[in-house]
Amino acid sequence: MRINAEVVGVIADRECSALEFATSKSIYFKKIKYNRNYTLELQSELKKLVPDVIVTNIHKIIDIDTLSLFPNKFVNLHYSLLPAFSGVIGMETIAQAKVKNVGFVGGTCHLVNEEVDAGKVLCQSCVPINWKKDQLVIDTVFKSSSLALLGGIFTILNIKTDRNEQLIINKERVLFSPPLPFNTSFLSKEFWEKVAK
């Protein structure tokens, strides 16, 4: 499935692989200073880019004034089935899930609002976990969460299809809510190697 969309820019507050990706693909990028008391640079860059969706990957809370400039456009990916482990950053959610011996993990793509990890859920992935295969757990959560993020972006862009395919990652059946609106036949080893870079 091809969609009429493009990455219009990458904005980061630190050196990261997203800036490297933008450089390699000749996509506009900017490294900025950002905190809740210094918001003008981020707001200025976003106004220039005029994005339809803003995917956050910043380990800071976005200020309410910036969120208000782009209502219902900021989305975040959280490596848990929210509201579980809200406020926990990155893959630390998986470490905490292991300590609690949860049976299912996944990812949540949600709208960003002024309350941490409390925005409207757009898409979630859910997969049963075998904690004896730790490395596969991280890989499975990463892959299923990446697809939940795509599902959330498609929700924002109002892209729908009649697809409702079963997806297997590391021999585990992954469920999505709502079902992914795209064909998953492109999920080859080469695809995941590109995503991981």
Domain residues of the chain, as ranges?
1-71, 76-197
- What is the percentage of the chain residues whose pLDDT exceeds 90? 52
Mean pLDDT, residues 118-133:
90
Higher pLDDT: 105 or 167? It is: 105
Residue 79 clears pLDDT 90, i.e. is over it: yes
Position 58 scores a pLDDT of: 67
**CATH placement of domain 76-197:** 3.40.50.170
Residue 192 clears pLDDT 90, i.e. is over it: no
**Residue 78: pLDDT band by 50, 70, 90 thresholds?**
very high
Q: Which one, of 134, 157, 147, lies nearest residue 177 by Cα?
A: 147
pTM, two decimals, is 0.87
Position 165 scores a pLDDT of: 62
CA distance 128 to 124: 14
Give the tens place of pLDDT for each residue, 138-174: 888 888 898 899 889 988 888 776 565 668 888 888 8
**Residue 184: pLDDT band by 50, 70, 90 thresholds?**
low
CA distance 33 to 35: 7
Position 40 scores a pLDDT of: 95
Position 1 scores a pLDDT of: 55
Position 191 scores a pLDDT of: 64
Position 183 scores a pLDDT of: 63
**Residue 43: pLDDT band by 50, 70, 90 thresholds?**
very high
Tallying the residues shown for the chain, one arrives at: 197
Position 169 scores a pLDDT of: 83
Mean pLDDT, residues 17-34:
92
List, in sequence order, every beta strand (DSSP E) within the chain: 10-12, 29-31, 54-56, 74-78, 104-111, 121-128, 167-169, 172-177
**Residue 197: pLDDT band by 50, 70, 90 thresholds?**
low
Q: Provide the residue type at 95 as one letter.
A: A
Position 36 scores a pLDDT of: 86
Position 5 scores a pLDDT of: 78
Round the average pLDDT of the chain to a whole number and report it. 87
